[in-house]
Structure 1
Amino acid sequence: MSLHELLLEPLGFEFMVRALITTVVAAVVCAVLSCWLVLIGWSLMGDAVSHAVLPGVVLAYLVGAPFALGAVVFGFLAVGLIGLVGNTSRVKEDAAIGIVFTTLFALGLVLISVTPSQTDLNHIIFGNLLGVDTADVIQICVLGAIALTALVLKRRDFTLYAFDPTHAHAIGLNPRLLGAALLGLLALTSVVALQVVGVILVVAMLIIPGATAYLLTDRFGHMVVIAPAFSAIAAVTGLYLSYHLDTASGGMIVLVQGAGFVLAYLFGPRHGIVAKSVAAGRRRKRLASDRA
Structure 2
Amino acid sequence: MIDMLLMPFQFGFMQNAFWISLIVSVPTALLSCFLVLKGWALMGDAVSHAVLPGIVLAYLLGLPLILGAFVAGMVTALATGYLSENSRVKQDTVMGVVFSGMFGLGIVLYVAIRTNVHLDHILFGNMLGVGTGDLWTAGVISVCVAAALLLKWKDLMLHAFDPAQARASGLPVGLLHYGLLTVLSLTIVATLSATGLILAVGLLITPGAIAFLVVRSFGRMLAVSVAVCMVAMLAGTYLSFFLDSAPAPTIVLILTAIFLAAFIRRGLQTRRASARSPV
Q: Do they fold alike, i.e. is TM over 0.5?
A: yes
Q: 2:190: which partner in 1? A: 192
> Residues 227-258 of structure 1: CA distance to partner in whole angstroms, max 9, x if unpaired?
01100001111111111010121100000011
Note if contact 1:60-1:67 (Cα within 8 Å) is conserved in structure 2. yes
Pair 1:279 & 2:273 matched = yes
Aligned positions of 1:1-292 closer than 5 A: 2=1, 4-83=2-81, 85-86=83-84, 91-267=89-265, 272-283=266-277, 286-287=278-279
Q: Distance in 2 between matches of 1:237 and 1:156?
A: 31
Shifted more, 170-179 versus 252-261: the winner is: 170-179
Note if contact 1:112-1:122 (Cα within 8 Å) is conserved in structure 2. no
User: What's the C-alpha RMSD, in Å, of the aligned pairs?
Assistant: 1.9
Note if contact 2:78-2:181 (Cα within 8 Å) is conserved in structure 1. no
Question: Normalized against structure 1, the TM-score is what?
Answer: 0.89
Q: Distance in 2 between matches of 1:52 and 1:27?
A: 22
Q: Distance in 1 between matches of 2:251 and 2:104?
A: 25
Note if contact 1:67-1:191 (Cα within 8 Å) is conserved in structure 2. no
Q: Distance in 2 between matches of 1:152 and 1:6?
A: 39
Q: Distance in 2 between matches of 1:128 and 1:235?
A: 14
Letter in 2 for 1:225: A
Letter in 1 for 2:270: K
Distance verdict in 2 for CA 1:156–1:89, change over 3 Å: closer
Question: Normalized against structure 2, the TM-score is what?
Answer: 0.93
Per the TM alignment, residue 275 of structure 1 is displaced from its structure 2 partner at its CA by 0.9
Q: Distance in 2 between matches of 1:72 and 1:10?
A: 33
Per the TM alignment, residue 156 of structure 1 is displaced from its structure 2 partner at its CA by 2.2
Q: Distance in 2 between matches of 1:35 and 1:178?
A: 15
Q: Distance in 2 between matches of 1:201 and 1:145?
A: 22
Percent pairwise identity: 44
Q: Secondary structure at the match of 1:200?
A: coil
Count of paired positions: 279
Shifted more, 73-82 versus 149-158: the winner is: 73-82
Question: Which stretches in structure 1 are left out of the alignment for 5+ residues?
Answer: 288-292
Larger Rg: 1
Distance verdict in 2 for CA 1:61–1:144, change over 3 Å: farther
Q: Distance in 1 between matches of 2:87 and 2:267?
A: 41
Distance verdict in 2 for CA 1:227–1:92, change over 3 Å: same
> Residues 171-213 of structure 1: CA distance to partner in whole angstroms, max 9, x if unpaired?
3221111010000110110111121111111111000000000
Q: Distance in 2 between matches of 1:55 and 1:221?
A: 37
Letter in 2 for 1:17: Q
Per the TM alignment, residue 163 of structure 1 is displaced from its structure 2 partner at its CA by 2.1
Q: Distance in 1 between matches of 2:28 and 2:59?
A: 23
